[in-house]
Amino acid sequence: MEKENKHNKDLGFQVPQDFFKNFEEDMMTQWNLEDKLGKETGFEVPDGYFETLEEQLLPVVDDKVRQLPKKSNVTTFLYPVLAIAAMLAIVLTLNSGNESVDIASVDTSVLEDYLIEESFLYDDATVDILFADNDILDNISLTESVDTDVLYDYLEDEMDLNEIITE
């Protein structure tokens, strides 16, 4: 703790020089203005205005009792039910896109058509990716080059696409 300047008289607040010099004169001027002008707000109500107000308003006001149309119990019950049903319909339609598809549930003919149309097996990069982790290809050495069109024709004639998919 700081022991020096423990009881410092300087609080850090300063008033501008000559601030209170004209203070008394300014205060007297303000009081003199209030005496001359008065403390009234300028709003006046004529004498007896509130005493005759009721007599002036009663002839204008209609004494008829009006019945408001009542809401039927069906509409008061139906609106919340319809709102809840609409909310459920929105929630169910928004969540329907999150279903996962299992490969077993897909029809084989649809899968065949997709593979043929997309030329999935005709792309060399895709075949390289599929067999990248396979050690069998490392041990095979081909001495002759095989024409890919001849190979695809052979596979179409000899093998069923269902066998390829299940393997």
Helix (H) or strand (E) holding 158: helix 148-158
What pLDDT is recorded for position 129?
A: 65
The answer to whether 131 and 137 have CB atoms below 8 angstroms apart is yes
Q: How far apart are CA 91 and CA 95, in angstroms?
A: 6
- Distance from chain centroid for Cα 126: 41
Read off φ and ψ for residue 17, nearest 5 degrees.
-65, 140
- Distance from chain centroid for Cα 118: 39
Q: How far apart are CA 141 and CA 42, in angstroms?
A: 112
pLDDT digits (tens, 9 = 90+) for 94-148: 766 666 667 777 777 777 777 666 655 556 666 666 666 666 656 666 666 778 8
What pLDDT is recorded for position 72?
A: 77
Percent of the chain scored above 90 by pLDDT? Answer: 0
Q: Report residue 117 as tokens.
A: 């149309």
Q: Report residue 79 as tokens.
A: 């609106």
pLDDT digits (tens, 9 = 90+) for 73-99: 777 778 888 888 888 888 888 766 666
Q: For the chain, what are the domain ranges?
A: 107-166
The answer to whether 135 and 141 have CB atoms below 8 angstroms apart is no
pLDDT digits (tens, 9 = 90+) for 5-62: 666 666 677 877 887 788 888 888 887 877 777 666 677 888 888 888 888 888 888 7
First to last CA, the chain: 84
Q: How far apart are CA 116 and CA 110, in angstroms?
A: 10
Q: Which of 118, 129, 127 is nearest to 151 (CA)?
A: 127
Q: Report residue 35 as tokens.
A: 């005496």
